Amino acid sequence: MFKNIYKKLSQELELGNEVAMLTFLKPTSDKKGAITDKYVLVKDNLENDSFFKEKDKVLKQNILNAFETGYLQIINTEDENILIEPYFPNPRLVIFGGGHIAKPLVEFGAKVGFSVAVVDDRLSFANPGRFPHADEVICESFEKSFSRLNIRKSDFVVIVTRGHRHDGVCLRHSLGHNPAYIGMIGSRRRVKGVKDELLKEGYSQEKLDKVYSPIGVDINAVTPEEIAISIIAEVISVRRARKNAFIDGNIIKFNWPEFDGSVIDEMSKESDIPRALITIISSKGSVPRKAGAKMIVWLDGKTIGSIGGGCSEADIITLSRNIIQNKGYAIEHIDMTGDVAEDEGMVCGGIMDVLIEAF
């Protein structure tokens, strides 16, 4: 049940779309009930989505608030409760050029959570052995590589090729895809030369002004590793620079919800063994994982993902097995403050609510 919903969610995220999943909960008591439906909404398609059009203004606004703030939303009505979960695609770092800067840049990019693709037209510079931390290494002409990459609006493009001509090819194609970030290495004179060429070809000054060049945060970097650090710092800065939302007279700082791609992928698959999906739906204080974090528990004891570990997670796993056998859902409160945290030997001190759904 709902396998296709999670498959759609996974596919939309793979395409680089921001997505909201709505879970409809029919309570039979304060903390338990049945899951009646799930629905996936793509942010860019909201106005044309028949489901969105038919809903009341309150629900619509809460869906928009979830996208604007990054926070999970729960709507309580007389008949049902609706959980709104915003999902943001895992960012991809696309590096054109497999030279000395690319090596540490791939490693640093992978360490801070990007999936990484590297492109070079020379086999000695484009092979998995040279880039063990890359998810994809493409040995192809820079021009032809774009048909394989399928650049998305959530991608971050770094151009560090070996020459002026290759820079121009990569920049031309990248501008046509409107990724989240385009950065190009090179001296001011070299960069100006490339941009002047594109201006003559009809590219707008406005688009060219959005290209980060000289690339990277100015830290007086000299070595390839230092330059890579300056580039990845700028990429992180651009990625995290979401505007704060103004809702009901209050300024809400954007929150990046936890994301577990492996859990979403697993939920899109059939399972012969009954399982439960566990989601942190709210958290407060110092907790190991925040709202949005997920894990799956199978009846045979297998798990994927985590909501923080420790005795509290172990208790939730035990409760999950009961939910699996009885079906439906349950909402459990976890207290990691004061004496509870001290008794378990935890340094954290927060509280969170988790939703356990049987599948």
Average pLDDT of span 162-167: 89
- As a whole number of angstroms, the distance between CA 76 and CA 307 comes to 24
Statement to judge: residues 30 and 79 lie in one domain: yes
According to the model, what pLDDT value does residue 326 have?
Answer: 86
Token pair for residue 312? 């509290």
Note whether residue 146 is domain-resident: yes
- The CATH number of the domain where 116 resides is what? 3.40.50.720
According to the model, what pLDDT value does residue 338 have?
Answer: 57
CB atoms near residue 179 (< 10 Å):
18
Enumerate residues 6+ apart whose C-beta is below 8 A from 69: 245, 247, 252, 254, 255
In the chain, where do the E strands start and end? Answer: 19-27, 32-42, 73-76, 81-87, 92-96, 115-120, 136-139, 155-159, 181-184, 245-247, 250-252, 275-286, 294-298, 303-305, 329-335, 349-358
70-128 pLDDT per residue, tens = 999 999 888 899 999 999 998 999 999 999 999 999 999 999 999 999 999 999 999 99
User: 184, 215, 240: which is the final residue of a domain?
Assistant: 240
Q: Which residue type sits at 183?
A: G
Average pLDDT of span 176-180: 93
Q: How many CA atoms lie within 13 A of 28 on its CB side?
A: 9
Domain total of the chain: 2
Which of 263-267, 301-305, 326-330, 340-344 is least confident? 340-344
CB atoms near residue 185 (< 10 Å):
21
Statement to judge: residues 84 and 214 lie in one domain: no
Indicate whether 341 pLDDT > 80.
Answer: no
- As a whole number of angstroms, the distance between CA 114 and CA 235 comes to 10
The closest alpha carbon to 215, from 139, 137, 160, belongs to: 160
Write down the residue that tokens 């002026």 correspond to.
164
Statement to judge: residues 144 and 231 lie in one domain: yes
Parent domain of 341: 3-88+256-358
Q: Decide: helix, strand or coil at residue 117.
A: strand
* 294: phi then psi, degrees, rounded to nearest 5: -135, 160
Indicate whether 228 pLDDT > 60.
Answer: yes
Q: Decide: helix, strand or coil at residue 177.
A: coil
- As a whole number of angstroms, the distance between CA 258 and CA 87 comes to 9
Which of 90-94, 300-304, 338-342, 351-355 is least confident? 338-342
Average pLDDT of span 218-222: 95
Residue environment code for 196-229, b if the CB has 16+ CB neighbours within 10 A, otherwise e: ebbeeeebeeeebeebbbebbeeeebeebbebbb
User: 240, 265, 289: which is the final residue of a domain?
Assistant: 240
- As a whole number of angstroms, the distance between CA 119 and CA 208 comes to 22
Average pLDDT of span 311-332: 90
| pLDDT tier for residue 344 given thresholds of 50, 70 and 90 | low
Indicate whether 297 pLDDT > 80.
Answer: yes
Statement to judge: residues 201 and 336 lie in one domain: no
Statement to judge: residues 133 and 54 lie in one domain: no
Statement to judge: residues 61 and 194 lie in one domain: no
Statement to judge: residues 68 and 110 lie in one domain: no
Statement to judge: residues 209 and 308 lie in one domain: no
Average pLDDT of span 58-68: 93
- As a whole number of angstroms, the distance between CA 241 and CA 180 comes to 11
264-294 pLDDT per residue, tens = 999 999 999 999 999 999 988 888 888 999 9
Note whether residue 232 is domain-resident: yes
Statement to judge: residues 167 and 146 lie in one domain: yes
140-153 pLDDT per residue, tens = 999 999 999 999 99
Statement to judge: residues 220 and 265 lie in one domain: no
Indicate whether 306 pLDDT > 90.
Answer: yes
CB atoms near residue 279 (< 10 Å):
23
- As a whole number of angstroms, the distance between CA 48 and CA 345 comes to 51
Statement to judge: residues 113 and 232 lie in one domain: yes
- As a whole number of angstroms, the distance between CA 303 and CA 142 comes to 42
| pLDDT tier for residue 345 given thresholds of 50, 70 and 90 | low
C-alpha distances in Å from residue 117, one per residue of 110, 169, 207, 237: 10, 17, 24, 20
CB atoms near residue 317 (< 10 Å):
17
User: 205, 240, 275: which is the final residue of a domain?
Assistant: 240
Note whether residue 251 is domain-resident: no
Indicate whether 339 pLDDT > 50.
Answer: no
Statement to judge: residues 32 and 138 lie in one domain: no
Which of 165-169, 229-233, 245-249, 275-279 is least confident? 245-249
Note whether residue 348 is domain-resident: yes
Enumerate residues 6+ apart whose C-beta is below 8 A from 250: none
Indicate whether 193 pLDDT > 90.
Answer: no
Return the C-alpha torsion angle 220, 221, 222, 224, nearest 10. Answer: -170
Which of 197-206, 250-259, 274-283 is least confident? 250-259
Q: What percent of the chain has pLDDT over 90?
A: 70
* 274: phi then psi, degrees, rounded to nearest 5: -55, 150
| pLDDT tier for residue 319 given thresholds of 50, 70 and 90 | very high
According to the model, what pLDDT value does residue 309 have?
Answer: 80
- Rounded to the nearest integer, the mean pLDDT of the chain is 91
